[in-house]
Amino acid sequence: MTRIALLILVLLAGPLAAQDLTLPSGARQLSDRVSPLDSYDLPTGPFADGSLPVRHVEGQVERITWRVQSGSSTTLQLLAPLREQIIAQGYEVLFECEARNCGGFDFRFGTEVVPTPDMYVSIQDYRFLAATRGDEVLSLLVSRNPPSGYVQMIRVTPVGVAAPPPLVIEETVNATDGLLSELAQNGHVILDDLHFRTGEITLGDGPFASLDLIAGYLADNPGTRLALVGHTDDTGALDANISVSTGRAQAVRTRLIEAHGVAADRLEARGIGYLAPLTSNATAEGRDLNRRVEAVLLVN
């Protein structure tokens, strides 16, 4: 079965350029901020006795976040492969903790977190890791808001320090087992790698691995049809949201038909606006999660 890279980062000492970063299907980069000269307080222990111990560092600061399809994976399952690889590349783990042992709420709001909606941190479900490689420091923050996982990386290279070797982080997962097993088990799955322009119904250029997998699944299961269901957040009137969500579902249907050769009679497209949210619309990250297209099994 084909294995694809879920998350590949190539971070060079200089500012990141598009060719330095490869994000395969299943992961979506949410932010990429590089400051040539900035500071960062790296947590070196849990929040205790009213304070958070930190190591103040200055230099070029890289702040990058991603959203990944986590499915039923725990935060430890998301973090562990990343930890193993940075250790293999010469990093030494300075400090690591999970939500409660970190200090819960106090640690979460005592350390630097990229603002929402580019990073989401559940107070009761996150993990943090601080590591060093010579004078270079790096932190990883991982959390979940099922079905999505969030990863934040902050790396600081001091001014005047020789350029470090490239950092490559790669986590491989069996994408077919992930998306298609969830579809088979639950009867529906979020096509989390799709993207649309804000307020528009036009589907991005892709390619989108989820659509490859769906097309292959339909080819292997001739007695199956799918409904593509669009969802929105609760911004605006219901009628307008139903129109947008329907248009997005139809755009996905059209892409599957025209680019992937799926027969039109095996796909339906519907939109239900904000009537079936995954989570609360009270926060920016919640609204972002609620904007989605799902594939729903229709067995003949």
CA dihedral sign of residues 61, 63, 64, 70 = positive
What pLDDT digit, counting tens, does each position of 189-247 carry?
A: 888 778 776 667 888 777 788 898 899 999 999 889 999 999 998 999 999 999 999 99
What pLDDT, on the 0 to 100 scale, is given for residue 196? 72
Cα separation, 161 vs 177, whole angstroms: 43
Residue 163 — very low, low, confident or very high, per pLDDT cuts 50/70/90?
low
- Rounded mean pLDDT of the chain? 82
Runs of H (alpha helix) within 146-208: 175-186
User: Of 43, 17, 209, 257, nearest to 130 (Cα)?
Assistant: 43
What pLDDT, on the 0 to 100 scale, is given for residue 207? 78
Structure tokens at 136: 């270079």
**Cβ(139)–Cβ(153) below 8 Å:** yes
Alpha carbon 70 to chain centroid, angstroms: 8
Average pLDDT over residues 108-117: 91
What pLDDT, on the 0 to 100 scale, is given for residue 27? 63
Res 252 pLDDT > 90: yes
Strand partners, 75: none
Peptide bond into 81 cis (omega under 30): no
Question: What are the angstrom distances between the C-alpha of 33 and each of 42, 61, 155, 221?
Answer: 17, 8, 11, 44
The bridge status of strand 267-271 relative to strand 224-231 is parallel
Residue 274 — very low, low, confident or very high, per pLDDT cuts 50/70/90?
very high
User: Of 80, 89, 94, nearest to 137 (Cα)?
Assistant: 94
User: Of 289, 263, 38, nearest to 154 (Cα)?
Assistant: 38
* Residues listed for the chain: 300
